[in-house]
Amino acid sequence: MKDLFGGAAPYYAKYRTRYADPAIEHLAATFGADSVVLDLGCGPGTVAIPLAARVREVLAVDPEAEMLAEGRRLAGRAANIRWLRGDSRTLRELPAFGHVVMGRSFHWMDRRAVLAELDGLLPPGGVVALVGPPRRVAEEPWEPAMRRVRDEFEVNTFTAANTYQATGVHYEEVLAGSPFGVLDRVRYEQRHTYGLEAVIGLQLSYSYTAPARLGDRLPAFTEAARRELLALNPAGTWELVSVTEVLTARRPPRSP
- Provide φ and ψ at 61, rounded to 5°: -120, 130
Closest C-alpha among 227, 233, 204, 202 to residue 148: 227
174 binds ligand SAM (CB under 6 A): no
Closest C-alpha among 246, 111, 235 to residue 171: 111
Q: Which of residues 129-168 bind ligand SAM (CB under 6 A)?
A: none
Work out which of 42, 51, 59, 130 binds ligand SAM, going by CB under 6 A: 42
Q: Which of residues 53-82 bind ligand SAM (CB under 6 A)?
A: 62-64, 67
Work out which of 35, 88, 162, 209 binds ligand SAM, going by CB under 6 A: 88
201 binds ligand SAM (CB under 6 A): no
Residue whose CB is less far from ligand SAM, 82 or 226: 82
Work out which of 3, 25, 87, 228 binds ligand SAM, going by CB under 6 A: 87
Residue whose CB is less far from ligand SAM, 18 or 148: 18
Stretch that binds ligand SAM, among 42-50, 116-124, 166-174, 233-241 (CB under 6 A): 42-50
SS (H, E, C) the chain: CCCCCCCCHHHHHHHCCCCCHHHHHHHHHHHCCCCEEEEECCCCCCCHHHHHCCCCEEEEEECCHHHHHHHHHHHCCCCCEEEEECCCCCHHHCCCCCEEEEECCHHHCCHHHHHHHHHHHCCCCCCEEEEECCCCCCCCCCHHHHHHHHHHHCCCCCCCCCCHHHHCCCHHHHHHCCCCCEEEEEEEEEEEEEEHHHHHHHHCCCHHHCHHHHHHHHHHHHHHHHHHHHHHCCCCEEEEEEEEEEEEEECCCCCC
Work out which of 51, 109, 174, 214 binds ligand SAM, going by CB under 6 A: 109
Site string for ligand SAM, 89-108 (x = CB under 6 A): --------------xxx--x
Work out which of 3, 4, 121, 188 binds ligand SAM, going by CB under 6 A: 4
Closest approach of Cβ 90 to ligand SAM, in Å? 8
40 binds ligand SAM (CB under 6 A): yes
Work out which of 43, 50, 71, 98 binds ligand SAM, going by CB under 6 A: 43
Which residues contact ligand SAM (rule: CB under 6 A)?
A: 4-5, 16, 40-43, 46-47, 62-64, 67, 87-88, 103-105, 108-109
